[in-house]
Chain A
Amino acid sequence: MNSSGLLLSLASLLLVVLALTPFIEFAGDLSSRNIVDIAWKPLETGTQGVKVGLTLTYKGTIPLTDVNLRIETFCGGKTCQSQEASTKVLTRGESLDIQFFVPFNASSVRISFESKIAGLYTLKTVTETGVPGYGFPG
């Protein structure tokens, strides 16, 4: 291998390492601690249901970009309420707030989170939770 070939190989390797670093760091964060805090509280109770405020706080070291949080409420298998919140960048300690309405006849709530790890790797998570009894869980 001549010197230009060696230089090219080293540059290639460096690029691969640079591209992999955010993913490896994110995976490390994910395995070592809880990188997302979700806190919610009922804001007001009406005759039809409860208005809920949800705050998602990011605690990871790698910035997330193109962040989108979507909350859907299901009533009898159909979407009855849907709310979205988004932000361009979410860095450590920053929060994303969303308010949504949960009708009393809601059967489940789906929380969908989509973002890009360091603007490179798309990450999607979907959690669906039942609404026990009358109103929102808790």
Chain B
Amino acid sequence: MLLWLAFPIILQTIAPRYISMPSPSLVLFFTCVSAVTGAIASILKPTAFKPLVSMIPRILGFLLIASTGTSVSINFQGTSIYLDLSPIFYLLLFLFVLVPTLLEAIETFTWWLEKS
């Protein structure tokens, strides 16, 4: 959860000034939503809704960040430079969206099997 909260801030910090990044207010909004829904998800009993509660803000946050640009384009003294940073975004999607969601889905499924 802490990592997930830190990740937009880490991105903002390491990103070169030319990267088209989401505005701080959007990141703050997403971080707050993520924190609240993450806290709700952590106290929820495993149900079919639990993965959804924690998955939606993750996916929305990722899309928010990714939609504002995963590449850098600079025009400098007649030279145009294009840098594609999408691999890191795919890695972040995998590590911080897909894997946690899958783990929660497995946890819910296990709980469901035990209950029935």
Answer yes or no: do A and B interact: yes
Q: Which residues of A approach B to under 8 Å, CB–CB?
A: 1, 8-9, 12-13, 15-16, 19-20, 23-24, 27, 120-129
> What are 5 A-B residue pairs whose CB atoms fall within 8 Å in the complex?
A15-B91, A16-B91, A16-B92, A19-B87, A19-B88
B3 touches A121 (CB 8 A): no
A13-B3 contact given A19-B87, A24-B14, A27-B16, CB 8 Å threshold: yes
A120-B87 contact given A15-B95, A16-B92, CB 8 Å threshold: yes
Among B1, B2, B87, find the residue whose CB has the most chain A CB atoms closer than 10 A.
B87
A125 touches B14 (CB 8 A): no
1/0 per residue B1-19: CB within 8 Å of A? 1110000000000101000
Contacts A9-B2, A23-B85, A126-B79 known; 10 new A-B pairs at CB < 8 A: A1-B1, A20-B88, A27-B16, A121-B84, A122-B84, A124-B81, A124-B83, A125-B79, A125-B82, A127-B79
Shortest distance in angstroms between B53's beta carbon and chain A's nearest beta carbon? 17
A24-B88 Cα distance, complex, nearest whole Å:
12
Does chain A have a CB within 8 A of B80? yes
- Interface range, B side: 20 to 34
A125 touches B99 (CB 8 A): no
A81-B85 Cα distance, complex, nearest whole Å:
32
1/0 per residue B84-100: CB within 8 Å of A? 11011001100110010
Shortest distance in angstroms between A28's beta carbon and chain B's nearest beta carbon? 11
Shortest distance in angstroms between B28's beta carbon and chain A's nearest beta carbon? 21
Nearest residue, chain B, Cβ from A117: B83
Shortest distance in angstroms between A65's beta carbon and chain B's nearest beta carbon? 13
A27-B72 Cα distance, complex, nearest whole Å:
12
Question: What residues of B have a CB within 8 angstroms of the CB of A125 in the complex?
Answer: 79-82
A8 touches B88 (CB 8 A): no
A129 touches B78 (CB 8 A): yes
B14 touches A20 (CB 8 A): yes
A12 touches B87 (CB 8 A): no
A22-B91 Cα distance, complex, nearest whole Å:
15
Shortest distance in angstroms between A136's beta carbon and chain B's nearest beta carbon? 17
A1-B80 Cα distance, complex, nearest whole Å:
46
